[in-house]
Amino acid sequence: MTVKNPTLLPLFEDLKSMLEPLADRFTVRNAEAGRYELWSDVNIAPAGKPKHEPYFAGLIVQKNYVGLYYMPIYTDPDIRDSLGGELLSTLHGQSCFYITSLTPTLREQLASALQLGLALYEAKGWVGNRQAKTP
């Protein structure tokens, strides 16, 4: 994958370092320059519809921002009420946050959001104890 804006790679790496501690609970996919994803390897059936390996969160360097794609907010929209204002101001659409810089407040709010999302996925039985792997 060609990185759309190499000047955003330091921000990407900073954000990636926030996701990496969760890698022991998910499968790491597309771990390459400018892209990093966490997927569950648990098969689920929300609303009775079988789905394989739900997506948790990922990062992609875009042209003007690093996109944080955060599926817990899509899975349970009520989680939005627990997110901080600075983080919510970067939300575009249902589950993508456009991150252009990382302030201490935003870092704290992101860390909290990731823990909320993990707790949600754990409560649903969508994660397990496993070792990360990069296919």
Task: Give the pLDDT confidence of 115-128 residue by residue, as tens digits.
Answer: 999 999 999 988 86
Domain count, the chain: 1
Residue 115 lies in a domain: yes
Cα distance between residue 115 and residue 64, in whole Å: 27
Residue 88: inside a domain: yes
pLDDT in tens, 11-25: 999 999 999 999 999
pLDDT, residue 74, reads 85
The CA distance from 41 to 55, in Å, is 9
Residue at 133 is within a domain: no
Full domain range(s) for residue 18: 6-122
134 within a domain of the structure (yes/no): no
d(CA 101, CA 71): 21
Q: Is 130 a member of any domain?
A: no
pLDDT for 71 equals 94
17 domain-assigned: yes
How many whole angstroms separate alpha carbon 116 and alpha carbon 77?
12
Q: Domain with 22 in it: what CATH number?
A: 3.90.1150
Give the C-alpha separation, 110 to 15, whole Å: 9
Q: How confident is the model at residue 92, as a pLDDT?
A: 95
Give the pLDDT confidence of 53-96 residue by residue, as tens digits: 889 999 999 999 999 999 999 889 899 999 999 999 999 998 99
